Chain A
Amino acid sequence: MKKKINKYDIGLIASIIIISVFFILYGGRDAVISNSKTAYIFSNNQQVGEYVLTDDFKDVVNIETETGYNIMNIENGQIWIHEASCPDKICIQQGKISRNGEMIVCIPNRMFIKIVDDNDESEIDFIAD
């Protein structure tokens, strides 16, 4: 067993960094800010809410299941969770989301929020699921 870091390790690490940065920059979500975004709220694989995010829409939503609750705020075209029953509070740490394709996931409560740009047709098949 080799004891010190060698060129193969550095090669592996460098290639993973390059691939990850490539996917972060070019994969998945695009940064186009649009005025017709919809936030879909799913709980236990079922859609429980649908909110069109505009600058003047303001609401507080409480999603409660047998595993716990998530209270989310919608304001200024952004949506975020400000209180939750889950032990790790990772859903709160994920912060405010407002762009197409961004998600907030709460694994303990099996709840997630996803923003879909209404102009982007490539996301439609996700909703039909």
Chain B
Amino acid sequence: MNKTHRYIFLSLLTAAALILSIIEGMIPLPFIAPGAKLGLSNIVILSVVVIFGFKDALLVVIIRSILLMLVATNPITFIYSISSGIASTIVMSFSCKYLKHFFSLIGISVLGAMAHNTTQITVAAILFTTMNLYYYLPVLSLVSIFTGCFVGYTSIFVTDNLEKTLLKLGREA
């Protein structure tokens, strides 16, 4: 895979992550817990972590957050999305590198979702200057287990297909 192929795939995946984030904003899950989300764009981020590695995943997360701010949300949401995105990317790539003999993608995705929630609540606690927001963390963690399993299970299929595509591309080139 040469440089151009790599950049084309990364920009396509960034666009996919952006679109998934926008769609996700339209379908919240109010019946489970307010503020909880499916984390659909995490499917893309996790696949990029697995296939392209940490640096490219970080690039995708940052560009996704900036574009999401410009397209759909506001600067305050941007602070939340970029900090939690970076934190979950760091946790997921760390566990991909050192814990992959133990966990499958489902476990890694659950860990990433936990990091996402914890960072988001920490940022909210800093902005609101109160520690009381942490009482909401267990509720979000419970929800994030289900969404994390869903994201991890989907990522298994995505990485499978993406790897096949990249192999095919490598043979043709």
User: Would B114 and A90 count as touching, CB distance under 8 A?
Assistant: no
Q: How far is the CA of A101 from the CA of B135 in the complex (A)?
A: 9
**Beta-carbon contacts of B96-126 to A below 8 Å, as 1s and 0s?**
1000111111110011001000000000100
B107 touches A103 (CB 8 A): no
The answer to whether B149 has its CB under 8 Å from any CB of chain A is: yes
**CA–CA, A4 to B103, complex, Å?**
9
Q: List 29 A-B contacts (CB under 8 A).
A: A1-B159, A2-B100, A3-B104, A6-B103, A9-B106, A9-B110, A13-B110, A13-B149, A20-B139, A21-B138, A22-B138, A24-B142, A27-B135, A27-B138, A29-B135, A45-B129, A88-B25, A88-B28, A90-B28, A101-B132, A103-B135, A105-B124, A107-B76, A110-B76, A112-B128, A112-B130, A114-B132, A126-B132, A129-B130
Is the Cβ of B132 less than 8 Å from the Cβ of A9? Answer: no
Q: Which range holds the interface residue count of chain A?
A: 35 or more
- How far in angstroms is the closest Cβ of chain B from A23? 4
Q: Are B132 and A1 interface neighbours, CB within 8 A?
A: no
Determine the distance from Cα of A45 to Cα of B129 in the docked complex, in whole angstroms.
7
A19: CB under 8 A from chain B?
A: yes
Contact partner, A8, options B77, B96, B107, Cβ 8 Å: B107
A32 lies within 8 A of chain B by Cβ: no
Q: Which 5 A-B pairs have the closest CB atoms?
A: A28-B135, A9-B107, A23-B138, A20-B138, A2-B104
Q: Which residues from 78 to 109 on chain B have a C-beta closer than 8 Å to any C-beta of chain A?
A: 80, 96, 100-107
Contact of A20 among B25, B124, B142 (CB under 8 A): B142
Complexed CA–CA distance, A93 and B36 (Å): 12
Cβ of A48 within 8 Å of any chain B Cβ, yes or no, is: no
Within the assembled complex, what's the spacing in Å between the Cα atoms of A94 and B105?
32
Do A45 and B103 have beta carbons less than 8 Å apart? no
In the bound complex, residues from chain B placing their C-beta under 8 Å from that of A5 are 104, 106-107
Within 8 A of B (CB), among A33-58: 42, 45
Tell me if B145 and A110 are in contact (CB < 8 A): no
B141 contacts the other chain (Cβ, under 8 Å)? Answer: yes
**Chain A residue at minimum C-beta to C-beta distance from B157:** A3
Complex: A12 Cα to B108 Cα, angstroms: 10
CB–CB A90/B35 < 8 A:
yes
Q: Which partner residue on chain B sits nearest A109 by CB separation?
A: B76
Chain B residue contacts of A61, Cβ below 8 A:
none
In the bound complex, CA of A24 to CA of B139 (Å): 7
> Do the beta carbons of B128 and A110 come within 8 Å of each other?
yes
Contact flag A4-B128 (CB < 8 Å), given A27-B138, A90-B34, A94-B34: no
Chain A residues with Cβ below 8 Å from B139 are 20, 24
Q: Report B-chain residues with C-beta under 8 Å of the C-beta of A126.
A: 130, 132
Residues of chain B within 8 A of A22, CB atoms compared: 138
Residues A105 and B128 in contact in the complex (CB < 8 Å), given A1-B50, A13-B110, A93-B34: yes
